[in-house]
């Protein structure tokens, strides 16, 4: 997701998010990317109303849309989390500079992570070939949690770990060279707190998991489909950066959810 310059003043941002249905759409998209039909069912609101407020959020550049790589007739909606965070903090700064002081989950000390209830969670990243997106997501989340979180990845039709995935993460200081492609059937009988699909095809053909498993979707195009060596590698780098952002916020989310249960 490309974050553009912020044309909003803090009051403009508050006006956009203050509407009840727009707020519900935003809070729904925090957990997962959705198609419009899914948002309609989730929010129990008429299609024209949901579509109208999605348009308002798109025009505010808080929500982005992307056509499914599995079925081009379908469109997934997701939050621009970087822009949302920037606008949120601009409101705090406008009220008082001290309100903009935050603790970055990426900088949490190891002893804090070890005590966190989130470290008891089990996470599975799922895509089609378990070659690029899910492998990078697994490596990033392992890195962020210092290998204290039970995190795995798999594919519905596994192939191999793409060299550009290894290279792109190596530039971030993350080594996934020892990871291997795995089929989702390797995890039969195992339970997960979260299953995160990172490609549309895997999401639309996702295996059945127990009801207690939270199913989350991140709609990412496959960087391996980009043609040209330089262009393809750049696509891997951009995907890795976007996955790092999504994974950062995801870790914060599961920390809050686990702490709420303790």
Give the active site residues. 127, 199, 206
Q: Is 8:14 a contact under the CB 8 Å cutoff? A: no
SS3 at position 185: helix
How far is the C-alpha of 100 from the C-alpha of 93, rounded, in Å?
A: 6
How far is the C-alpha of 257 from the C-alpha of 262, rounded, in Å?
A: 9
How far is the C-alpha of 27 from the C-alpha of 36, rounded, in Å?
A: 15
Give me the helices (H) in 60-198, please.
81-95, 110-115, 133-144, 163-170
Q: Is 203:133 a contact under the CB 8 Å cutoff? A: no
Token reading at 116: 């966190």
How far is the C-alpha of 110 from the C-alpha of 33, rounded, in Å?
A: 30
């Amino acid at each position: 997701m490309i974050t553009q310059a912020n044309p909003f003043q803090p009051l403009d941002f508050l006006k956009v998010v203050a509407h009840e249905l727009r707020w519900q759409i935003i809070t729904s998209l925090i957990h997962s990317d959705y198609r419009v039909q899914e948002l309609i069912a989730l929010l129990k609101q008429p299609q024209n109303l949901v579509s109208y407020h999605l348009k308002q959020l798109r025009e505010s550049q808080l929500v982005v849309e992307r056509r499914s790589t599995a079925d081009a007739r379908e469109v997934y909606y997701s939050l621009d989390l970087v822009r949302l965070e920037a606008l949120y903090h601009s409101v705090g700064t406008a009220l008082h500079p001290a309100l903009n002081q935050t603790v970055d989950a990426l900088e949490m000390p190891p002893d804090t992570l070890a005590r966190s209830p989130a470290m008891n969670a089990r996470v599975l990243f799922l895509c089609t070939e378990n070659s690029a997106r899910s492998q990078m997501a697994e490596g990033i989340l392992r890195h962020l949690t210092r290998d204290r979180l039970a995190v795995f990845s798999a594919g519905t039709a596994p192939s191999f770990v793409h060299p550009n995935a290894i290279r792109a993460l190596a530039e971030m200081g993350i080594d996934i060279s020892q990871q291997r492609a795995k089929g989702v059937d390797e995890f039969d009988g195992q339970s997960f707190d979260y299953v995160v699909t990172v490609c549309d095809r895997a999401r639309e053909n996702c295996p059945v998991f127990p009801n207690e498993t939270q199913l989350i979707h991140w709609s990412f195009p496959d960087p391996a489909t980009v043609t040209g060596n330089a262009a393809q590698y750049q696509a891997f780098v951009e995907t890795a950066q976007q996955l790092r952002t999504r994974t950062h916020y995801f870790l914060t989310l599961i920390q809050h959810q686990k702490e709420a249960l303790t």
